[in-house]
Amino acid sequence: MAENRKQIAVSGIQASGNLHIGNYIGAIKQFVELQDKYNMFVFVADLHAITVPQDPKKLGAQTLDAVYTYLACGLDPKKTTIFIQSHVPQHTELGWILNTITPLGELERMTQFKDKTKDQTSILAGLLNYPTLMAADILLYNPIAVPVGEDQVQHLELTRTLARKFNSRFGETFKEPKALIQKDGARIMALDDPIKKMSKSGNANNFIGLLDSEAEIRRKIKIAVTDSGKEIKYDPATKPAISNLLIIYSQMAGLDIKEIEKKYVGKSYSEFKADLAEVVLRALKPIQEKYNKFAKDKKSVLQILRDGAAEARKVAETTMEGVRAKVGFLEALQ
């Protein structure tokens, strides 16, 4: 279990199966680095996953797949509390309470809500209330910091607003956590369209899955969109495709972009992409090997999740005892 030796940070990722290098570079890699600095609580957000229709037969497997991936990428259960969101019922309890102090207009203004409901005739309430559940995910653990991507900053700002609102109305309860935004690689774009974020919801050539085969990785990088001209240079304004590939190269190889640019002066896109494939394969090989090891030891992984949920529930229940008292709920009779 995580030692109580550092300030708390909390984050999660959806249970959506076979995570991609955008998830790794933009989130999981940062979690692994932060676990030596913070007392980390990291969860798989299965409650968030069902805000859009899921196949119940696949959801559990996808959830476990995400856990295998977390562990394979280097999250250490001795340093980080790893658990499943739905295994800690205090998440939904606090989410409901926060709903009661959140103006409808605040939720309707959320960028992700507008994007996900665009052109939809039937909108599910879960999509609207997603941010209040996310606020509960965070505030339950009173973290000082939350590692988030740029697309989640608005949600964290709402979390901070709700913390202030609750504190003002019911008394000092929650900290206002700060955002930890990764400077480099925070937003990896699609291989087939560098204007859009890498996502599994698009074309299969959009992303490189962490578990993709060697042949698939080479093929996807080979056909990845490039820009006009021949220069291999980081310039998101005029060369968004090559800039995105340079970020991937930099993050997966641990090299500065300027260093990579110098290496490929006078070389072709095809040479660069061939080398990029090798870099990605080299970085993913140990992750895939560890993933397979964890996948063959489901019993041990489930024990990690049981221990993680127990630790998370202990912290979350302490928070909720204070919340219930301040809201005015009647205590259970002894």
Active-site choice (165, 200, 290, 326): 200
Residue 262 falls in the annotated catalytic set: no
User: Which is nearest to 291 in space by CA: 28, 73, 72?
Assistant: 72
Q: Where are the domains of the chain?
A: 8-186+298-327, 204-292
Both tokens of 331, joined, read 């205590």
User: Which is nearest to 138 in space by CA: 12, 47, 32?
Assistant: 12
Pairing of strands 178-180, 39-45: unpaired
CATH number for 8-186+298-327 (one of 3.40.50.620, 3.90.420.10, 3.40.50.1220, 3.40.47.10): it is: 3.40.50.620
Residue 200 falls in the annotated catalytic set: yes
Whether pTM > 0.75 for this model: the answer is yes
Residue 267 falls in the annotated catalytic set: no
How far is CA 310 from each of CA 14, 52, 87, rounded to the nearest angstrom? Answer: 20, 28, 9
Q: Are 42 and 82 in contact (CB under 8 A)?
A: yes
Active-site choice (116, 165, 233, 290): 116
pLDDT in tens, the chain (334 residues): 444 447 999 998 877 767 899 989 988 888 999 999 999 999 999 999 998 888 998 999 999 999 999 999 999 999 999 999 999 999 999 999 999 999 999 998 887 787 777 777 788 899 899 999 999 999 999 999 998 877 788 889 999 999 999 999 999 999 999 988 777 767 899 999 999 888 877 678 889 999 999 999 999 999 999 999 889 999 999 999 999 999 999 999 999 999 999 999 999 999 999 999 999 999 999 999 999 999 999 999 999 999 999 999 999 999 999 999 999 998 865 4
Structurally, at CATH architecture level, domain 204-292 sits in Orthogonal Bundle (1.10)
Active-site choice (29, 79, 175, 197): 197
